[in-house]
Amino acid sequence: MCGIVGYVGAGDALPILLDGLASLGYRGYDSAGVGVIDGGSLEVVKRAGKLDRLQEALDASPLRGSAGIGHTRWATHGEPTDANAHPHLDCSGRVAIIHNGIIENFPELRARLVKEGHTFRSDTDTECIAHLVESHRTDGLAAAVRSTVRELEGAYAIVVASLDEPDLIVGAKVASPLVVGIGDGENLLASDIPAVLPRTRTVVPVEEGQIVELRAEGVRISTFDGIEVEPDPIKVDWDVERAEKGGFDDFMQKEIHEQPTAIRDTLVGRVDPLDYISLDELRLSETLLRDVDRVFIVACGTAYHAGLVAKYAIEHWTRLPVEIEVASEFRYRDPVLDANSLTLAVSQSGETVDTLEAARHAARQRSPVLAITNTVGSSIAREADGVLYTHAGPEIGVAATKTFATQMVALHLTALFLAQVRGTMFPEEVAEVLQRMRELPEQVARALSLDEQLRALARRFAGARDLLFIGRHTGYPAALEGALKLKEISYVHAEAYPAGELKHGPIALIEPGTPVVAVATECHVYRKVLSNIQEVRARGAEVVAVATEGDEEIASVAQHVLSVPRTPELLAPVVVSVPLQLFAYAMAKERGCDVDQPRNLAKSVTVE
């Protein structure tokens, strides 16, 4: 997944494609490629690495033609190599395709296509689309794409070019963004508006389940069932910077709002219709997982908080003891591990040196290491025995938001998988949790609508010197993450405590007006959290409670209530963290801070 550009017109396609890709570069990518049609030939050039590597290759052999497709890739299936970069070709080399998203049923499609005699040249899920289009090619390109999408399961935006119809580019969309740029004697397709802005400001967003036929002289849009749709163009008056952020003010705000999609992408392809979890890419045998007698989790910062959330789920669902430690501490003590200890190394970047070294430390003691990361081909992913990718897409804001949500979901999947393999849950119990996990994107979307209420709270608390965050059970790691987000981007001092621990010291900090954010959603310790809120209220605290929708009691103890959808307590932090992220964001904006680039912080911490 990452950036898509398609062009048909009178101009020279290559520089237009490269400009479009460059304007999507802010999204982050690990390889790039283009395919250009020139009458009788379809030439593809692609390279792992940044666009300048592709440019060097193109300088050596420039491509001419007035139709083409270009892609920047953020690896999901298969490492960032030249062969895995897009476009992908069919066997005959007459069909080229670029793709964002994930094809859920690609293992079955690939097996079938290989049986039918197709030759695969990459490890990607994308390549099967090129071979499917090839198998339907005799119908014409648009009809071939229509037949192909009927066989695809998952989330995708695809753009296809074929030598058989050199003046046509075809796009299709399910769940991944795709827009048409209407130009003068030329038209474009792109995954994001910035890619078309240098050529046009007239844009048609492609809707779910639509196919676009793009020619120089016009655009035809129809549904997957072939019903023609009248394009409804909009005029984009955003500047490029705003367009890059999808109309949001900052990348962090955009990424907070991308969480429903990111969570959906983490779940895609990992559960079959009978609710059987198969984590094919895990690379750890079921025998090995059955022999595990203890789990260690190593991570830093936000990823550590995701690990803390997972500890509750793993212990409850698998009855395996879990030890979790901040990676920079783990590696300098002498933890007792052996071949039966499973180590989970959680890291969005996959490059955090503390986590990498902690994973190496575990591996030296023969512990199998499973990486949970967002970055395909990263150091931790490469060195680990197994890997589960979070599929959040690139995260640009320094503060982790959507990668946190997807780390929790990937860890929950891992915990359920362990329970399935070890037989510690009945299949119906696993199915029930999976059903609740599928509801998370919609619940997170509802929690995002608290934005206005959080802005008002931020106006009230922007001048606060210190805030306390409290929670119990899984509410505690959610509180820790809420406090970390606030510190990171708004520079307001915040501490998180297990709510029951307050009376052992920190309650001395409470004075009239001290803001306390309490995670008080429905759970088996709810009443205890209420008592802890009473304790701080009695000492003058101003309490903001994150509570479950329909809770009428909470308003009697908290001055401000943020209501979130009802979620099982082991999954609740995925939803609860949304208002806490929005609060940190609103506080930072209120205080005039740069939320995307907070001071002193880097996105990937590769020093000790």
Q: Which residues are known to be catalytic?
A: 2, 603
Q: Which stretch binds ligand F6R (CB under 6 A): 106-114, 187-195, 265-273, 346-354?
A: 346-354
The site that binds ligand F6R (CB under 6 A) totals a number of residues, namely 14
Closest distance to ligand F6R from the beta carbon of 485 (Å): 6
The pair of structure tokens assigned to 273 is 């219709």
Between 114 and 602, name the residue whose CB sits nearer to ligand F6R. Answer: 602
Closest distance to ligand F6R from the beta carbon of 160 (Å): 35
Alpha-carbon gap, residue 440 to 565, rounded angstroms: 9
Closest distance to ligand F6R from the beta carbon of 308 (Å): 12
Q: Which stretch binds ligand F6R (CB under 6 A): 163-171, 295-303, 384-392, 562-570?
A: 295-303
Alpha-carbon gap, residue 560 to 455, rounded angstroms: 13
Closest distance to ligand F6R from the beta carbon of 63 (Å): 37
Q: From the list 1, 211, 300, 546, which residue makes contact with ligand F6R (rule: CB under 6 A)?
A: 300
Closest distance to ligand F6R from the beta carbon of 603 (Å): 7
Q: For the packed helices 301-318 and 475-490, what is the interaxial angle rounded to 10 degrees?
A: 170
Closest distance to ligand F6R from the beta carbon of 444 (Å): 18
Q: Which stretch binds ligand F6R (CB under 6 A): 127-135, 271-279, 298-306, 436-444?
A: 298-306
Closest distance to ligand F6R from the beta carbon of 487 (Å): 10
Q: From the list 187, 355, 532, 563, which residue makes contact with ligand F6R (rule: CB under 6 A)?
A: 355
Alpha-carbon gap, residue 83 to 193, rounded angstroms: 28
Q: Which residue's entry shows tokens 């830093």? A: 300
The pair of structure tokens assigned to 109 is 């499609």
Residue 302 engages ligand F6R in binding (rule: CB under 6 A): yes
Q: Is the Cα dihedral 563, 566, 570, 575 positive or negative?
A: negative
Q: Answer whether 151's CB lies under 8 Å from 134's CB.
A: no
Radius of gyration of the chain (CA): 25
Between 259 and 302, name the residue whose CB sits nearer to ligand F6R. Answer: 302
Segment 388-427, which members bind ligand F6R (CB under 6 A)?
Answer: 399-400
The pair of structure tokens assigned to 580 is 């806490």
Q: Answer whether 188's CB lies under 8 Å from 200's CB.
A: yes
Q: From the list 284, 303, 430, 562, which residue makes contact with ligand F6R (rule: CB under 6 A)?
A: 303
If one counts every other C-beta atom within 10 angstroms of the C-beta of residue 496, the result is 26
Between 345 and 510, name the residue whose CB sits nearer to ligand F6R. Answer: 345
Segment 476-515, which members bind ligand F6R (CB under 6 A)?
Answer: 488
Q: From the list 210, 341, 347, 521, which residue makes contact with ligand F6R (rule: CB under 6 A)?
A: 347
504 by Cβ neighbours in 10 Å (0-12 / 13-18 / 19+) ranks as: exposed
Between 176 and 302, name the residue whose CB sits nearer to ligand F6R. Answer: 302
Omega within 30 of 0 (cis) for the link into 87: yes
Closest distance to ligand F6R from the beta carbon of 431 (Å): 30
Closest distance to ligand F6R from the beta carbon of 301 (Å): 2
Q: From the list 84, 210, 266, 348, which residue makes contact with ligand F6R (rule: CB under 6 A)?
A: 348
Q: Answer whether 465's CB lies under 8 Å from 492's CB.
A: yes
Q: What is the largest CA-CA distance in the chain?
A: 81
485 alpha carbon, distance to own chain's centre: 18
Residue 308 engages ligand F6R in binding (rule: CB under 6 A): no
Between 124 and 378, name the residue whose CB sits nearer to ligand F6R. Answer: 378
Q: Which residue's entry shows tokens 């890419």? A: 281
Between 111 and 601, name the residue whose CB sits nearer to ligand F6R. Answer: 601
Residues 6+ apart with CB under 8 A from 359: 298, 343, 345, 369, 371, 380, 383, 384
Between 13 and 252, name the residue whose CB sits nearer to ligand F6R. Answer: 252
Residues 6+ apart with CB under 8 A from 538: none
Alpha-carbon gap, residue 154 to 544, rounded angstroms: 39
Q: Which stretch binds ligand F6R (CB under 6 A): 54-62, 99-107, 297-305, 362-370?
A: 297-305
Alpha-carbon gap, residue 263 to 410, rounded angstroms: 9
Q: From the list 100, 148, 352, 577, which residue makes contact with ligand F6R (rule: CB under 6 A)?
A: 352
Q: From the list 171, 183, 301, 477, which residue makes contact with ligand F6R (rule: CB under 6 A)?
A: 301
Among the listed residues 71, 108, 80, the one whose alpha carbon sits nearest the alpha carbon of residue 378: 80
DSSP 70-115: EEEE--SSS-S-TTTSSPEE-TTS-EEEEEEEEETTHHHHHHHHHH
Closest distance to ligand F6R from the beta carbon of 407 (Å): 8
Among the listed residues 188, 300, 240, 183, the one whose alpha carbon sits nearest the alpha carbon of residue 23: 240
Q: Which stretch binds ligand F6R (CB under 6 A): 188-196, 202-210, 260-268, 300-308?
A: 300-308
Beta pairing, strands 31-38 & 67-73:
antiparallel
Q: Whose CB is nearest to ligand F6R?
A: 301
Q: Which amino acid is at 589?
A: K
Between 223 and 604, name the residue whose CB sits nearer to ligand F6R. Answer: 604
Point out which residues pair with 67 in neighbouring strands: 8, 37
CA dihedral 157, 162, 167, 172 (to 10 degrees): -20
Q: Which stretch binds ligand F6R (CB under 6 A): 341-349, 455-463, 496-504, 516-524?
A: 341-349
Q: From the list 216, 326, 448, 605, which residue makes contact with ligand F6R (rule: CB under 6 A)?
A: 605
Residue 309 engages ligand F6R in binding (rule: CB under 6 A): no
Q: Give the interface with ligand F6R as residue ranges (CB under 6 A).
A: 300-303, 347-349, 352, 355, 399-400, 488, 604-605
